[in-house]
């Protein structure tokens, strides 16, 4: 069919059509950008001190911060990231999924493997692989886990070629040879070896985070109640406090290298010392680069803050106030468990009897008097309790103080509320925040130069390129 030829529109009409087309094109462009933003990191920077520039780079401090990669999406609750330099691989826990995953940056795309969902930052990885490495990771029984968060939480690499895990489900510190981690999924989980599971014959609550002291190699860990279904009032709770514990380096080495393995772990149990019991919910922990100061986060709803504790260079212990050094309180660290008692069959029977007794009353009713923070050798450094309460009242998705790491100069990168708080050494000045807009679990430095900051952000793992290097990241 032949259509009659139309006359050209008058100039003013043509100009109107052109303007309409421009508006439509702008709408399409805006819609496209909105879709892009939905898939981006959603991260921004709050700059409070010019010293932040040297840590993150001035170019990253623009209002539309985009130097963030979204490496992993769709997990349940990411925690405990640790970078494995020799394999150029990040390991992290999914506590609720009872598994340990890895993220690795590939030199070339590998179409046979699962690719990371990339963020839309300026430095998206050219090719990435996310893999499930270990299942189960914290609750090792074939039966259904009797808690909400049964998996491993904090992870670390030791000097003996092991991945060390704080296990919620098994309520212990355990190790897995890295050679077996490389082998992929470990099936039944029987290859985990316990390092320590008790203090004075009583089971830990649910070990949460852990760190080796660079001063002497001692392993320290926090033990709140988050892995217990009933928290403080759980009938399975055997310790009437939430502590920060220490395994001396010699005892740790014996637990790793000693034979038989069960006796070696029992010996480590006897060597465990309670260093801090004044905190209601000890969570993340880290050391100053010289190892002489321990930093711990307290993640209580009514008390969310970071504290410091001096560590004696000779004994490796927390320095207490002089009037408390010889008391017989819960924090006196007297060890009354000979190795033979922990390896004897009566040990499990005693633990069962204790559990039955605890079930007859609320565990919190049995709590002995605890020392104050100052009596325990601690000093409160920075408190975000009121900020946390306001954020919750406003309906934001937030969390209390959680895991944190230091760079080689002692600057602190700490997760709290919905951000990574960046402090000068010893938490003296808040330099700024990496605002994620979601609750965070922990952070870790890594990458080939140790300058990448990995953030466990709820269901995601993010990466921020920094201008600083994590403390000890290139030693492993």
Closest by Cα among 48, 224, 227, 423 to 443: 423
Residue 401 · residue 284 · CB < 8 Å = yes
Confidence at residue 454, expressed as pLDDT on a 0 to 100 scale: 98
Confidence band for 472, pLDDT divided at 50, 70 and 90? confident
pLDDT digits (tens, 9 = 90+) for 34-50: 222 223 568 889 999 99
How is residue 62 annotated by DSSP?
S
* Cα separation, 267 vs 143, whole angstroms: 29
Residue 322: what pLDDT?
64
437: exposed, middle or buried (Cβ count in 10 Å: 0-12, 13-18, 19+): middle
Q: How many other C-beta atoms lie within 10 A of the C-beta of residue 255? A: 25
Q: CA dist 187 to 25, 81, 93, 453, Å?
A: 54, 22, 16, 31
Residue 337 pLDDT > 90: no
Instruction: Give the pLDDT band of residue 288 (cuts 50, 70, 90).
Output: very high
pLDDT band at 61; cut points 50, 70, 90: low
CA distance 227 to 241: 14
pLDDT of 367 reads: 52
Which element (helix H / strand E) includes 25?
helix 11-39
Looking at residue 422, its pLDDT comes to: 98
List the structure tokens of 328. Answer: 């017989």
Which helix H or strand E contains 423, and what residues bound it?
Answer: strand 419-423
In this prediction, residue 262 carries a pLDDT of 72
DSSP secondary structure string for all residues of 350-368: HHHHHHHHHHTS-GGGGPP
pLDDT bucket at 261, cuts 50 / 70 / 90: confident
pLDDT tens digits, one per residue of 174-192: 999 998 887 654 444 448 9
Alpha helices (runs of H) in 242-319, residue ranges in sequence order: 249-257, 261-271
What are 112-157's pLDDT values in tens digits?
A: 444 444 433 333 355 689 999 999 999 999 899 988 899 999 999 9
Structure tokens at 440: 């965070």
- 223 pairs with which residues across the strands? 243
Give yes or no for a contact between 55 and 412, defined as CB atoms under 8 angstroms apart: no
Torsion angle of the four alpha carbons 461, 406, 257, 351, in this order, in degrees rounded to the nearest 10: -80
In Å, how far are 154, 367, 375 from 327, measured between CA atoms?
32, 17, 11
Q: How far apart are CA 256 and CA 270, in angstroms?
A: 15
Whether residue 31 is predicted with pLDDT greater than 60 in this model: the reply is: no
User: Residue 269: its pLDDT value, please?
Assistant: 80
Collapsing DSSP to helix, strand or coil, 82 comes out as strand
Are the beta carbons of 258 and 267 closer than 8 angstroms?
yes
Strands (E) in 248-352, as ranges, are: 273-276, 282-287, 293-299, 304-310
Sorting pLDDT into bands at 50, 70 and 90, what band is 354?
very low
Give the other-Cβ count within 10 Å of 471's Cβ.
20
CB contact set of 240 (below 8 Å; sequence gap of 6+): 330, 363, 366, 367, 368
pLDDT at 128: 80
Q: What is the pLDDT of residue 181?
A: 85
């Amino acid at each position: 069919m032949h259509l009659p030829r139309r006359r050209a529109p008058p100039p003013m009409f043509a100009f109107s059509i052109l303007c309409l087309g421009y508006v439509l094109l702008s709408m399409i462009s805006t819609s496209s950008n909105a879709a892009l933003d939905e898939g981006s990191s959603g991260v921004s920077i709050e700059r409070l001190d010019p010293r932040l520039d040297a840590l993150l780079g001035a170019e990253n401090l623009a209002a539309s911060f985009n130097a963030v990669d979204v490496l992993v999406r769709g997990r349940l609750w990411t925690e405990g990231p640790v970078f494995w330099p020799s394999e150029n691989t990040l390991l992290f826990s999914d506590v609720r999924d009872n598994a340990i995953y890895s993220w690795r940056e590939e030199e070339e795309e590998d179409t046979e493997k699962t690719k990371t969902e990339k963020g839309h930052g300026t430095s998206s990885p050219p090719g990435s692989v996310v893999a499930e490495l270990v299942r189960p990771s914290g609750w090792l029984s074939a039966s259904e886990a009797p808690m909400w968060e049964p998996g491993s939480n904090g992870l670390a690499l030791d000097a003996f070629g092991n991945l060390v895990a704080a296990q919620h489900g098994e309520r212990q510190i355990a190790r897995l040879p890295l050679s077996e981690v490389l082998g992929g999924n470990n099936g039944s989980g029987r290859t985990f070896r316990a390092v320590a599971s008790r203090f004075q014959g009583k089971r830990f609550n649910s070990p949460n985070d852990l760190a080796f002291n660079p001063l002497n190699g001692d392993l320290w860990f926090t033990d709140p109640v988050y892995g217990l279904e009933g928290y403080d009032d759980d009938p399975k709770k055997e310790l009437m406090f939430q502590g920060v514990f220490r395994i001396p380096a010699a005892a740790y080495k014996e637990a790793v290298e000693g034979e038989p393995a069960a006796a070696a772990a029992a010996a480590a149990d006897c060597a465990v010392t309670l260093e801090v019991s004044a905190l209601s919910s000890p969570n993340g922990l880290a050391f100053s680069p010289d190892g002489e100061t321990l930093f711990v986060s307290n993640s209580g709803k009514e008390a969310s803050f970071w504290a410091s504790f001096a560590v004696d260079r000779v004994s490796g212990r927390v320095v207490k106030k002089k009037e408390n050094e010889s008391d017989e309180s819960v924090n006196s660290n007297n060890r009354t468990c000979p190795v033979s008692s922990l390896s004897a069959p009566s040990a499990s029977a005693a633990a069962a009897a204790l559990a039955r007794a605890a079930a007859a009353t609320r565990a919190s009713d049995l709590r002995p008097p605890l020392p104050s923070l100052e009596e325990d050798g601690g000093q409160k450094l920075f408190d975000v309790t009121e900020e946390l309460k306001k954020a919750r009242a406003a309906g934001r998705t937030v969390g209390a103080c959680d895991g944190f790491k230091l760079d080689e100069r002692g600057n602190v990168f700490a997760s709290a509320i919905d951000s990574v708080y960046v402090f000068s050494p010893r938490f003296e000045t808040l330099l700024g925040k990496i605002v994620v807009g979601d609750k965070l679990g922990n952070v870790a430095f890594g990458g080939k130069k140790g300058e990448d900051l990995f953030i466990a952000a709820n269901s995601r793992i993010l990466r921020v390129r920094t201008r600083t290097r994590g403390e000890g990241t290139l030693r492993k």
